[in-house]
Structure 1
Amino acid sequence: MICTVLSIAAVAVAAPVAAQSQGDLQLVQRHLQGLTTMTATFSQTDRAGKTLTGTLSLKRPGKVRFQYEKSVPILIVADGGALTFIDYSVRQVQRWPIKESPLGVLLDPTRDITKFATLTPGVDPRLVSIEARDPRHPEYGRITLVFARNGSGPAGLTLQGWVMLDSQNNRTTIRFSDQRYGGPISDDTFRWNDPRRPGGRR
């Protein structure tokens, strides 16, 4: 009898928690569906504790630009199909499909996060955190997105940042401030100079 009562109590507690989790996932999905453009200031911290700053420009579908401070000779940009890392100090360019990056959850409007993301527990009810990964491709890494419940963003959420783990378990933390949604961003923002060829423009 005691076991039965405890089982019923456990189900009673689990049901609203599960419902809340699914509701928050759907809320994040609506946020992403309503996201057209976003600009923000960011700080990026790697696993060694080194922090870089810069500005973010994001335009869905598939476009993003991390413009680092002037003293940092690197650029990360996506032009709609591929995510590109450019290191101007050594004239190196690396590219890979957006869908193979954890950032695909933000940049690909066809993704249904309720199918592959899970809500991560937190102590602050003002925040919503989800972890997204492709279980079929662990080599793509995973990303934990953190949102604040804030009426100024799509679906009442504002993206605060994320923690990304790549396939080598290297951790990168991004924090945003001065987030702005829905403003015009030119496609030229996502063009870049190719250091492998003088005067090259992509």
Structure 2
Amino acid sequence: MPQIERNKTTAAVHFVDPTHSTSKHALVLKVAGLDVYMNHRLLIKQAQFKLYYGDNIWLSGANGSGKTTLVQTIINNKSEFVPDYVQIGYFNQQLTTLDRKQTVLENVTNASTQVDNVIYAVLAGLALNNKLQLRAEQLSGGQLVRLQLAKLLLQTPQLLILDEPTNYLDLETKAALADFLHEYPGAILLISHDQTWAADVTEQQLIIHKQATTFGDD
């Protein structure tokens, strides 16, 4: 197994999406006239927006405005909003995509669409280079967060939804994740309270305010 060192600055990583030739510029998400509720309380009225392959949007709003509920509604009703050919990768703090009995390396390689040098670069950038043979159940909470991020990035879904991905990340690892997202070929829908970081990795801001969704400058 190659010995990999974590660089102080992350080298450029070129993700390869096997579907790129057919996905490029394709519509990956369409929300039109969606009312979002939680416990029968209206959070968002008539939400409306689209994402195309390659778009990256920061979904922002006050606590309790409905950001997470909106993305969960999309995921739970995928066929209503996402074309059949689109794969969704969803990151949240529940860490549901990990197999706790598998090693770090097994978790990412068993689902990865990337070549080995990209796999190792992502693991190094997310500070998992010294944990490759540990089972996921042996990792700390912060290491599990980084492992789930690595697994999703290396699966290269056409639509990547990230709900507060920088929690538990130090400054160096946040910078590495930003580098990876800059190179990510698919669409990204990001929820983050870290305004400076979110503005750096996205090109558009979708704001939830007074139960409405509007685009603004990020």
Higher-Rg member (1/2): 1
Query: Is TM-score (shorter-chain normalized) higher than 0.5?
Result: no
Scaled to the shorter chain, the TM-score interval is: under 0.3
Q: TM-score, normalised by structure 1?
A: 0.26
Tell which has more relative contact order, 1 or 2 (C-alpha 8 A, sep 6+). Answer: 2
More strand by share: 1
Q: TM-score, normalised by structure 2?
A: 0.24
